[in-house]
Amino acid sequence: MTVTPQKLVERLRSRAERYIALHLRYEKDMLSFTGCTYGLTDAESEELRIMRVKTNHWKIKNINSTEQRVGGLCPLTPKEVGIFLQALGYPPSALIYIAAGEIYGGDTHLSELTSRFPNIVFKEMLATQEELKTFSNHASQSAALDYIISVDSNVFIPSHSGNMARTVEGHRRFLGHRKTITPDRKGLVELFDKLETGLLEMSSLPRLVKKLHRNRFGAPRRRAGAPPGIKGRARLRLEESFYQNPFPECICNSEDAARR
């Protein structure tokens, strides 16, 4: 018997009334493609480099991992996500659904999140192998399960931008601007590094993180256009995607929603 996304949502809500959907982009291919190796061992970093070199359709082979991270271009690590959620005020008991593929390094890296938030759930913990058999060999269908569960969540948090994260955000906006927290990765990395070097006290972190994200909780806002003076194809590339933010064209009573 095949399980439905709605059934998985029901099983989640039987564990807790509310749940967070965390799009944790810490899969091997994502880290290899972006060249992000912060927190990894030398052997893991080399494995990712080799994968990138051997993947012909990935054009960029040599990537400075430090520059990527400082520029906010890397997915947040499981540890960074845990610190981020703590700073936002979520309790250790919060139910978190991981909408992602296999986490690189398995429990070794995931434990840096579960040590702070032990109530972590994957789809494999909500359904039997038989129920998931239909999806097991079809990555797009498995991702569709994560998509629907993320849309229905009380809070959606992507650890990296991408097509799915942007589309889930847009879908949630369409359904009434459901709470979506988009981490300011560049700003967070700066805070995390200060914390690690002793330039920032942990007690000060919640205030700074909340201040950094006061306008990143999915509240109604008009879709951002391209910078002034930009025309043609460049304008299309630089303006915010309609699928990420369909406001105001596809949201009823949009002017009223914007004022709320």
Q: Mean pLDDT, to the nearest integer, of 235-240?
A: 74
Exposed / middle / buried, residue 239 (Cβ in 10 Å: 0-12, 13-18, 19+)? middle
Kindly state the tokens that stand for 192.
């995390």
pLDDT in tens, 77-95: 999 999 999 999 999 999 9
pLDDT for residue 40: 96
Q: Nearest-CA neighbor of 26 among 111, 110, 131, 121?
A: 110
Q: Mean pLDDT, to the nearest integer, of 18-24?
A: 98
The pTM score is 0.90
pLDDT in tens, 188-205: 999 999 999 999 999 999
pLDDT for residue 113: 97
pLDDT for residue 57: 95
pLDDT in tens, 4-17: 889 999 999 999 99
Query: How far apart are the C-alpha atoms of 223 and 241, rounded to whole Å?
Result: 8
Going through 35-194 in order, the beta strands assigned E by DSSP cover: 96-98, 120-121, 155-158
Distances (CA, A) of 79 to 33, 134, 159, 207, 213: 20, 32, 11, 19, 19
Mean pLDDT rounded to a whole number for the chain: 91
250 or 253, higher pLDDT: 250
Confidence band for 157, pLDDT divided at 50, 70 and 90: very high
pLDDT in tens, 45-72: 999 999 999 999 999 999 999 999 999 9
Q: Is the pLDDT at 248 greater than 80, yes or no?
A: no
pLDDT for residue 79: 97
Query: How far apart are the C-alpha atoms of 63 and 206, rounded to whole Å?
Result: 32
Q: Where are the domains of the chain?
A: 5-259
Confidence band for 260, pLDDT divided at 50, 70 and 90: very low
